[in-house]
Structure 1
Amino acid sequence: MPTAHPSGWAHADGALRGPHWLREPADPNALVAHLWSRTTTKSGGVLSVGGVPLPDLVREHGSPAYVLDEADFRARAVAFRDAFADFDVYYAGKAFLCTTVARWLADDGLSLDVCSGGELTVAERAGFPMARVGFHGNNKTLAELERAVELGVGRVIVDSFDEVERLAAVTTELGRTTGVMVRVTAGVEAHTHEYIATAHEDQKFGFSIASGDALEAVRRVHAAPGLRLLGLHSHIGSQIFDTSGFEVAARRVLALHAQVGTELGVAMPEMDLGGGFGIAYTTQDDPSEPEALAAGITAIVEHECRALGIARPRLSIEPGRAVVGPSMCTVYEVGTVKEVALDGGARRSYVSVDGGMSDNIRTALYDADYSATLASRASEAGPSLARVVGKHCEAGDIVVKDEFLPGDVRPGDLVAVPGTGAYCRSMASNYNHALRPPVIGVRDGKTFTVLRRETVADLLATDVGVQ
C-alpha cells in the first residue's frame, strides 16, 4: 500500500509527485483535523482557532505568531491526569513553559518538571506548588541546587556522582532534606532521532545500569544524611507512539529496584518512567491516546513486579510534547514564491514566509516533518508541490520540507503550520537578529497575549557596545 502524504490528501488517480510518499491532494482547502488543536476549524478557506479567525489575529498581533489554544492545552493535560489517575503526572516544562501555562497546570492538578534555574524561576513566579516540582538536568549548578533546596522542590533527579556530592553538601549547609531520584540509563534506544534518544549507553544522561554505576549512585544517595532516596528515573526517548519501548526499560529498571531492596534493605517508594509520548505532525504519525498508554504501562509494570515478587512503586510520567504540541500552531505571512525545476521535469514552489528556523529549528536540527495549510482564503487552483522556507541566510532554513499547497499561493497569503507547541518557542533564537514571535492565546473567540513579541529594544538591550 502506498504511503500517505503528510497532509492526508489523496489524489483520485493515485499519481505520485515529488518525493515518493507525496500524493496530490483532492482538496487543498481541506483541514486534516487530527493534526490541529480541537477548536481549529476551516470555513471558506479561513482557518480559525478558539473561535478566532487567523487573519483577524494577525491584523491585531502581527505575524509570525504562535497561536495557543487554551481549551485544547488544558483538555490534553487533564486527559493525562485522569488516564494516569494513580500516577503522578509531571508536565515536561522544557517543551514549552511560561507563567500562564504553569498556572493552568497548577490549577488542573498536574505536577511540573523543570530542567534549569530559569524554568524553576518561572514556576516560582507562577506560584506553582514546589512540592509538585521535579528538577532535572545533567549539569545543575551549585546556585541552582541551592535555590531548589531553599524553595523545597519535591524531587531533584540526580544525574552524576558530582551532583550527588554537590547536592549533599548543599543540604548539609542549609540544614535541609530533599527528595532525590536517580536517573538511570537502561540501554534501550527508542525509535527516534539519534539526538533525542536518551536511554542508550553512549550519551550524556544518567547512570548506567549495566556498568553498576546506577547501583553505586543509589548507595551514595542513601548514605547522604540530607538526601531522601525516592526511587529511580528512566527516560527512553521522544516521539514514541506505543508502550513497547517501555517494556524492556521497565524490566531493567525494576530489576535494579528489586536489587536495591535486597542488597540495601531499602524499599524505594517511587519510580519515574519519563515521557516522550508522540504526537501527529503528519498523517504518517499514529500516536496513542493517554488511556491506552496508561493501560499499557501499568500492565508492563505490574507484570514485572509480580515476576520479581515486589510491590509496585508509585509511578510517575512526564508528558510535554503530547500536551502542548498539538495545542499550538504557527501562522506566517508569505513574502515571496519561487518555482524551481526538479529532476524529471517536475517543479516545486519555494514559499518563503516571515519566520523560519529562528522560530522552529526542529526541521533543520532533527529533520522533523511538518504539515501546512493556506489559512487566509479559499483557492480554486490545483495543488502544487511546495516547500515552506524561512527568511534566514541558511539553505537549511526550512519549515515544511514537502507539502501540497494551492498553486496560486501568493505574497500576502497566510500559511499555518500545526503541531508547533513543543520545542519551537522554547528553542527559538535571534538568529540573523530576528525578533522572536509572540505566543497569542485564544479562548472563546478572544485573544490574549501569553508572551509578547520581542522588540528592537529587547534585541539591543544586552548589546552594551564599545565606544
Structure 2
Amino acid sequence: MTHEAGWAHAPGALRAPSWLREPPDPNALVAPLWSSTAHKQDGVLTVGGVPLTELAAEHGSPAYVLDEADFRARARAFRDAFADYDVFYAGKAFLCTAVAQWVAEEGLCLDVCSGGELTVAKRAGFDMARVGFHGNNKSVEEIERAVALGVGRIILDSFHEVERVAETAERLGRTQRVMVRVTAGVEAHTHEYIATAHEDQKFGFSITNGAAYDAVRRVLEAPGLELLGLHSHIGSQIFDSSGFEVAARRVLALHARISEELAVTLPEMDLGGGFGIAYTTQDDPSDPAQLAIEMSKIVEHECRALGIDEPRLSVEPGRAIVGPAMCTLYEVGTVKEVALDGGASRTYVSVDGGMSDNIRTALYDADYSCTLVNRRSDATPVLSRVVGRHCEAGDIVVKDEFLPGDVRPGDLIAVPGTGAYCRSMASNYNHSLRPPVVAVRDGRSRVVVRRETMDDLLATDVGMAP
C-alpha cells in the first residue's frame, strides 16, 4: 500500500543521498554553490558586503538576495568567452527593469518569451534590435507589438506563426527578421520537463520528419519575413557537451541542405545553451571559457566536414548567469522531530516561505543546499528537511541537508542557487505575498522588486456584485 505522502515516507528515506556527506563543520560555506562575494564571519553570512542579519532586519523575510557584482561578472564571462557569438540572457530565468539594464550594460542580448517580458525590456530602454522573442504560442497581440517595436528576431515555432508574423509584418509595412526553431531529436540528460529537443514535445519543427525544411521553405516564400537561420535548444541544466555535438551535426546538415537545394545561405544559427549550475555538491558545471572552446570546435568540425562556411552563432546560457547570483533568505518558524517506525525520527525545519517562492523542488524534484546564516553553532550536524509553510505535504524547499542540531525558531537560513526560475515562477498560493528581490553590492542593499502587499493581493479581486 502506498502512503499518501509518497516518497517522503518511503523505506530508506532517512538516509542521506549518496552525494551528501556530513560536513566536519556545518557552519562552513560550500563556496561553489554561492555567489562570489558570499562569505561567513562568526557564522553570519555576508553577500555583496551586506550581512544577511542586517538585510533581514531592514527588508524582512523571505527575500531573494541578488548579488549584483556576481551577476555582472558572470554576464561578462559569457560575453568574453563567446566573443564571436551573440549571447542572449534568458529573461524567463529572472527579469526586472534593473536586471535588463545590467544585461544591456554588460553587452548581452536579451531573450524574452511573453508580452510581459517584452514590456519590461522596453521599460528598461533595451535596444530592441538585440531582443529575441521566443514562445510556442505567441498571441496575435504579442506578435504585433514585437514587430512594431522592431525586435531583432522572432523565433518561429509553428506553421501558424509563420503565417501570423508574415501577415503582421506586411500589414505594418515592416520586414521582420525570424529564425526557425528546430528539434534535433536529441535526448538531453536532464529532467523530462526541461529537455526540449526530443521529438515528443511542444517546441519547434522536427528535422527528422521534414517539418523543419518545410517551415524554412514557407518562410522564404512569405512576404515581409527575413530568415536569419535555424534555432536549436536541447534543454536546460545541461553539463554534457555531447548533446550539443549531435544537435549541431543535425542542424548544420539541414543548414547545408537549405543552401544547396533552396539556393539560400542562412547567415546565422542559434545553438541554444541551457548550461547547468551547481545546486549541490553533485553538480559540476563547466566554466564559460571551456564551453565556448568545446562548442566552437564542434561547429568548426561539422562545417568543415560539410564544406560550408560557419554561420554567425548565438548561444543562450539560460540559468547560468542569474542562477548562482541569488540566494533566498528565510526565517525559521518551527523545528519538529517526527517519530517514525523503527525508532527513527526526522527533523523538519519549517521556514516562512516555501513552494510559493520556490516551486522547483516540488515540480522537478530539484535538490538544493542551505546553511544557517545568523550565528555560529557548535552543535552536531543533523540530517534535516527544510519545508515551507503551505498546506501541501510536498511543500519542501531542501529535501536533505545537514544543519546544526540546535537550529531553533528565529534563526535565519539561506538557500543558494535560487536566481533562476524561483521568483519568475513564484505564486500567491495560500494567498501568500511574493517576496522582494533585494540587490546587494559594495555593502549596500536596494530593492529592485518590492515585496507584495495585501493591497496588491486584493487589487484584482473585484469583490461581490452589488
Q: Same fold (TM over 0.5)?
A: yes
1:360 is aligned to 2:390: no
Equivalent position of 1:244 in the other structure? 242
CA apart distance, 1:189: 1.2
CA apart distance, 1:320: 2.4
Aligned partners of 1:31, 1:421: CA distance in 2, in Å? Answer: 18
Equivalent position of 1:152 in the other structure? 150
1:333 is aligned to 2:327: no
Aligned partners of 1:380, 1:204: CA distance in 2, in Å? Answer: 51
Equivalent position of 1:417 in the other structure? 415
Aligned partners of 1:347, 1:370: CA distance in 2, in Å? Answer: 21
Q: Give the unaligned 5+ runs of structure 1.
A: 1-15
Equivalent position of 1:162 in the other structure? 160
CA apart distance, 1:21: 4.1
CA apart distance, 1:243: 1.4
- 1:322 aligned counterpart, secondary structure: coil
The answer to whether the 8 Å contact 1:373/1:415 transfers is yes
CA apart distance, 1:25: 1.7
In the TM superposition, 1:2-401 aligns within 5 A as: 17-342=15-340, 345-401=343-399
Equivalent position of 2:8 in the other structure? none
Deviations 1:318-337 (A, max 9, x none): 11200000000000000000
Equivalent position of 1:456 in the other structure? 454
Equivalent position of 1:13 in the other structure? none
CA apart distance, 1:341: 3.2
RMSD: 1.0
CA apart distance, 1:130: 0.4
The answer to whether the 8 Å contact 1:347/1:385 transfers is no
The answer to whether the 8 Å contact 1:89/1:316 transfers is yes
Q: What number of residue pairs does the alignment pair up?
A: 452
Equivalent position of 1:11 in the other structure? none
Say which of 441, 444, 447 aligns to 1:446.
Answer: 444
Q: Normalising by the residue count of structure 2, what TM-score does the alignment of the two structures yield? A: 0.96
Aligned partners of 1:87, 1:281: CA distance in 2, in Å? Answer: 27
- 2:321 aligned counterpart, secondary structure: helix
The answer to whether the 8 Å contact 1:18/1:346 transfers is no
Aligned partners of 2:391, 2:330: CA distance in 1, in Å? Answer: 18
CA apart distance, 1:395: 0.3
Q: 1:389 to 1:113 in 2, by over 3 A?
A: same
Equivalent position of 2:3 in the other structure? none
Runs of 4+ in 1 over 3 A off after TM superposition: 16-22, 341-346
Matched letter for residue 103 of structure 1: Q
The answer to whether the 8 Å contact 2:130/2:151 transfers is yes
Aligned partners of 1:193, 1:69: CA distance in 2, in Å? Answer: 28
CA apart distance, 1:342: 4.4
Aligned partners of 2:221, 2:415: CA distance in 1, in Å? Answer: 51
Matched letter for residue 163 of structure 1: E
Q: Give the unaligned 5+ runs of structure 2.
A: 1-13
Aligned partners of 1:447, 1:325: CA distance in 2, in Å? Answer: 19
- 1:34 aligned counterpart, secondary structure: helix
The answer to whether the 8 Å contact 2:188/2:243 transfers is yes
CA apart distance, 1:345: 3.9
The answer to whether the 8 Å contact 2:236/2:318 transfers is no
CA apart distance, 1:17: 4.7
The answer to whether the 8 Å contact 2:19/2:282 transfers is no
Aligned partners of 1:325, 1:142: CA distance in 2, in Å? Answer: 32
Matched letter for residue 50 of structure 1: G
CA apart distance, 1:123: 0.3
Deviations 1:4-56 (A, max 9, x none): xxxxxxxxxxxx95444433221111111110000000111100100100010
Aligned partners of 1:253, 1:228: CA distance in 2, in Å? Answer: 19
The answer to whether the 8 Å contact 2:111/2:132 transfers is yes
- 2:324 aligned counterpart, secondary structure: coil
Aligned partners of 1:385, 1:177: CA distance in 2, in Å? Answer: 59
- 1:326 aligned counterpart, secondary structure: helix
CA apart distance, 1:344: 5.1
Matched letter for residue 35 of structure 2: S
Matched letter for residue 39 of structure 1: T
Aligned partners of 1:343, 1:190: CA distance in 2, in Å? Answer: 39
Aligned partners of 2:276, 2:341: CA distance in 1, in Å? Answer: 34
The answer to whether the 8 Å contact 1:17/1:346 transfers is no
Matched letter for residue 409 of structure 1: V
Matched letter for residue 422 of structure 2: C
Stretch moving more, 40-49 or 346-355: 346-355
CA apart distance, 1:108: 1.1
Deviations 1:437-467 (A, max 9, x none): 0000001000001100000000000000114
Aligned partners of 1:343, 1:286: CA distance in 2, in Å? Answer: 36
Matched letter for residue 306 of structure 2: L
Stretch moving more, 298-307 or 333-342: 333-342
- 1:250 aligned counterpart, secondary structure: helix
Deviations 1:367-410 (A, max 9, x none): 00000000100001100110000000000000000000000000
Q: Normalising by the residue count of structure 1, what TM-score does the alignment of the two structures yield? A: 0.96
Aligned partners of 2:44, 2:344: CA distance in 1, in Å? Answer: 29
The answer to whether the 8 Å contact 2:19/2:281 transfers is no
- 2:320 aligned counterpart, secondary structure: helix
